[in-house]
Amino acid sequence: MASEDLIHLLPDSVANQIAAGEVIQRPASVVKELVENSVDAGATVIQVRLVDAGRTNIQVIDNGKGMSETDARMSFERHATSKIKNPADLFALHTFGFRGEALASIAAVAQVEVRTRRAEDELGTVIHIAASRIESQEVEMCPVGTNFQVKNLFFNVPARRKFLKSDQTEVNNVLAEIERVALVHPEIAFSVFRNDVELINVPQATSRQRIQHLFGKKLGQELLSVDVDTTLVKITGCVGVPESARKKGAHCFFFVNGRYMRHPYFHKAVMEAYAHLIPATEQVPYFLYFTVDPSRIDVNIHPTKTEIKFEDEQAIWQILMASVREVLGRSNAAPSIDFDVADCPDIPVLGSGNAALTPPMPTVDSSYNPFKQGGAPSHKSVSTRWNDLYKGVEGSHVGREIRFDEPMEADLPWDEPTRGGLPDEQSPLSDTPLFDDAAAMHDKCSDCYQYKGRYIVTSMKSGLMLVDQHRAHVRILYQRYMAQLSEQRSASQGLLFPEMLTLSASQAMMMEQLLDDFAGLGFDISNMGGGSFAIQGVPGGIEGLNPSSLVGDMLAGAIEQGNVSKEEVHRALALTMARSAAIVVGQVLSPDEMTALIDELFACDMPAYTPDGKKVFAIIEENDIEKRFS
Ligand code: ADP
Ligand code: MG
């Protein structure tokens, strides 16, 4: 009895439809595939037109090299590609498409019309294909390039059609795909129309201009350039200044070898570089382009996935973090103050391994508080800190050494006394030996002047610097507290009358976990059980603050962080405490105190911003001042 065969091959159209499900999920996937083909075809102008968010019609028109009659027909065959010939090519991909699957997939689930012509052909080809069946092929007059129309997507797969989201969502997905391609190819002009309304229209431009054209001028002005080249990876692009941070919707883009990628681990590296500059809950925009040896990344075999695995992930993480941090450190003061970096020597870049050291925090004299302990510091003790401004980055594997000591010294003796026109005011520095290095540096920021009880005004080579005294002190204290937290030891001053804190069960749990950290900061707190805690001692320098409300605030700040790393809890503690303990607006400062504050500020690794991203100082350029008198 002849048994009937159970196994048979699916008809091509069905197989194609199944396979298509992986590649083509929504209008945006069609747009992505077609636009990438246009890029691969060398187009310089690409236009995308959507009708009904792409449900009814998706059209992609390019001025690329077009296809011959045979190629046009072949292009819809599964595994038809002009882009790879042998397996080795898979590891050295320089084009977007490589599987020869996209057009076959699109044609399996839609009605497709393509018009295409090569420059060398007089006439072009028009093909109609629907549900994988070629319906017609004709010769026609048409412009050089290729014009795809994909109509009634999923007309033969109703279940898929139902999966589509609202028009707005589908259009947004399309725009996101276009942005990704457009960011990698500023040399190509892109436009997108939805029902004849123009949504995107960006001309050929430079990389930086492209970002502005896509996301606006404001963002364009908030970016700092990144450019680092190591044996493992080359990273170019830009990152936002701390002020550009936002809670939601920051434009974050990574690309590797010309493709968009998602990389949560590298995202953390970028955010880590901003750790002391912006709130942990916010993000900065970035546009970072990696170039790596293609054999050292896992070629993304799945066309719709954007995650990519790197072989040297940890080393690249370090390089990325250090490079962004260095860029931030450099931008802090360098361009706006007096330090001309134009002709500084480049430091040769090292390879992997020892390449990426995290810049160390400059040391801070943690026992010294010019405001709370009385008495001005000796000039020497703080003044050379100006030299430390870039300690963290100098000699690191990325970037260049920034030297600012020379131009400043060369400028001696500097500005004429400018003490707000006060006659004969006794300079606190008149007894300072002028040619002592440290003293000279100190002198650089010595003619301080307090404005409105809030700003310290000091003269710089390039203009006037205004420092917000409260914010400056927050930055200084924050760094000091962070250092104390990592060293876990600080002196405590006993309270005459211990204060009791009564906490809820969840607060008490957090408090128990934080007791060591509070001790590290100089608090002496004992757990009395039942949610009660006794504050028996507090750190020096916070006299005048109510210990229980301070501890309560710090606890609340830590709880707000949620279940996060120790580091982030430390940041929350340090920030709350720094905010409470910092000198307030309105506090009158002596010239020595102002000088000390500025010196300490510039000993911090990130003097330009508070830990939550507020500007600490502003510079009024000399040009601007001169203009006012012209
Ligand atoms: P892949 O891009 O992976 O090669 P596709 O199915 O996307 O596969 O495209 C198949 C082939 O059709 C491409 O290799 C290319 O030769 C040709 N092709 C597709 N789109 C265009 C276009 N816009 N211009 C010129 N040739 C194209
Ligand atoms: Mg393709």
Taking all residues of the chain, what is their mean pLDDT, rounded to a whole number?
A: 78
* pLDDT tens, position by position, 544-577: 788 988 999 899 888 887 766 778 888 888 999 9
What residue ranges do the domains of the chain occupy?
A: 12-202, 210-330, 402-630
Say what the pLDDT of residue 84 is: 60
Query: For residue 97, how far is its CA from the centre of ligand 2 (angstroms)?
Result: 4
> Is the model's pLDDT at 182 over the cut of 80?
yes
Residue 362 binned pLDDT confidence (cut-offs 50, 70, 90)? very low
Query: For residue 118, how far is its CA from the centre of ligand 1 (angstroms)?
Result: 14
Q: Which two tokens stand for residue 399?
A: 């970037």
Q: In this structure, which residues have their CB less than 5 angstroms from ion ligand 2?
A: 37, 97, 102
pLDDT top residue among 362 and 234? 234
- Judge if the beta carbon of residue 115 lies within 6 A of ligand 1: no
Nearest Cα residue to atom 12 of ligand 1: 75
pLDDT top residue among 332 and 490? 490
Say what the pLDDT of residue 435 is: 29
* pLDDT tens, position by position, 364-406: 444 444 444 433 333 333 333 333 333 333 333 333 333 333 3
Residue 360 binned pLDDT confidence (cut-offs 50, 70, 90)? very low
Domain covering 402-630 in this structure, CATH number: 3.30.1370.100
Residue 271 near residue 252, CB atoms below 8 Å: no
* pLDDT tens, position by position, 128-179: 999 999 999 999 999 999 999 999 999 998 888 888 889 989 999 999 999 9
Query: For residue 89, how far is its CA from the centre of ligand 2 (angstroms)?
Result: 15
Query: For residue 112, how far is its CA from the centre of ligand 2 (angstroms)?
Result: 15
Say what the pLDDT of residue 127 is: 97
CATH class of 210-330: alpha beta
> Is the model's pLDDT at 241 over the cut of 80?
yes
- Judge if the beta carbon of residue 450 lies within 6 A of ligand 1: no
- Judge if the beta carbon of residue 103 lies within 6 A of ligand 1: yes
* pLDDT tens, position by position, 454-513: 999 988 877 889 999 999 999 999 999 988 888 877 788 888 888 888 888 888 888 998
Nearest Cα residue to atom 19 of ligand 1: 37
Alpha helices in 240-391 (DSSP H): 264-273, 313-333, 379-383
Residue 277 binned pLDDT confidence (cut-offs 50, 70, 90)? confident
What is the C-alpha separation between 534 and 528, in angstroms, rounded?
7
> Is the model's pLDDT at 343 over the cut of 80?
no
Residue 292 binned pLDDT confidence (cut-offs 50, 70, 90)? very high
Query: For residue 141, how far is its CA from the centre of ligand 1 (angstroms)?
Result: 21
Query: For residue 480, how far is its CA from the centre of ligand 1 (angstroms)?
Result: 59
Q: What is the mean pLDDT of residues 198-222?
A: 92
Say what the pLDDT of residue 383 is: 32
pLDDT top residue among 346 and 466? 466
What is the C-alpha separation between 475 and 71, in angstroms, rounded?
64
Q: Is residue 436 classed exposed, middle or buried when 0-12, 13-18 and 19+ CB atoms within 10 A define those classes? A: middle
Say what the pLDDT of residue 621 is: 87
Q: With b meaning 16 or more CB within 10 Å and e meaning fewer, what string describes 17-27? A: beebeebbbbb
Other CB atoms within 10 Å distance of the CB of residue 395 = 11
Nearest Cα residue to atom 23 of ligand 1: 38
- Judge if the beta carbon of residue 76 lies within 6 A of ligand 1: no
DSSP 399: S
- Judge if the beta carbon of residue 100 lies within 6 A of ligand 1: yes
Q: Are strands 286-291 and 449-451 parallel, antiparallel or unpaired?
A: unpaired
* pLDDT tens, position by position, 12-56: 667 667 667 777 889 999 999 999 999 999 999 999 999 999 999
Helix axis angle, 469-487 to 566-581, nearest 10°? 140
Residue 304 binned pLDDT confidence (cut-offs 50, 70, 90)? low
| Least distant ligand from the CA of 72 | 1
Work out which ligand 1 atom sits closest to the CA atom of 76.
6
Q: What is the mean pLDDT of residues 72-77?
A: 92
> Is the model's pLDDT at 256 over the cut of 70?
yes
Other CB atoms within 10 Å distance of the CB of residue 442 = 23
Q: What is the mean pLDDT of residues 182-206?
A: 95
Say what the pLDDT of residue 87 is: 57
Phi then psi for residue 585, to 5 deg, are -65, 135
Domain 12-202 = CATH 3.40.630.40: no
| Least distant ligand from the CA of 62 | 1
Work out which ligand 1 atom sits closest to the CA atom of 80.
10
Q: Among 81, 127, 188, which residue has the most ligand 1 atoms within 8 Å of its CB, making it the best to mutate? A: 81
Say what the pLDDT of residue 10 is: 66
Residue 240 near residue 261, CB atoms below 8 Å: no
- Judge if the beta carbon of residue 522 lies within 6 A of ligand 1: no
Say what the pLDDT of residue 402 is: 31
Say what the pLDDT of residue 177 is: 94
- Judge if the beta carbon of residue 101 lies within 6 A of ligand 1: yes
In three-state secondary structure terms, 200 is strand
pLDDT top residue among 569 and 600? 600
Query: For residue 461, how far is its CA from the centre of ligand 1 (angstroms)?
Result: 59
Query: For residue 40, how far is its CA from the centre of ligand 1 (angstroms)?
Result: 8
Work out which ligand 1 atom sits closest to the CA atom of 84.
4
- Judge if the beta carbon of residue 80 lies within 6 A of ligand 1: yes
Say what the pLDDT of residue 578 is: 93
Nearest Cα residue to atom 2 of ligand 1: 97
DSSP 185: -
- Judge if the beta carbon of residue 16 lies within 6 A of ligand 1: no
Q: pLDDT above 90 covers what percent of the chain?
A: 42
* pLDDT tens, position by position, 87-129: 555 545 544 444 678 899 999 999 999 999 999 999 999 999 9
> Is the model's pLDDT at 6 over the cut of 90?
no
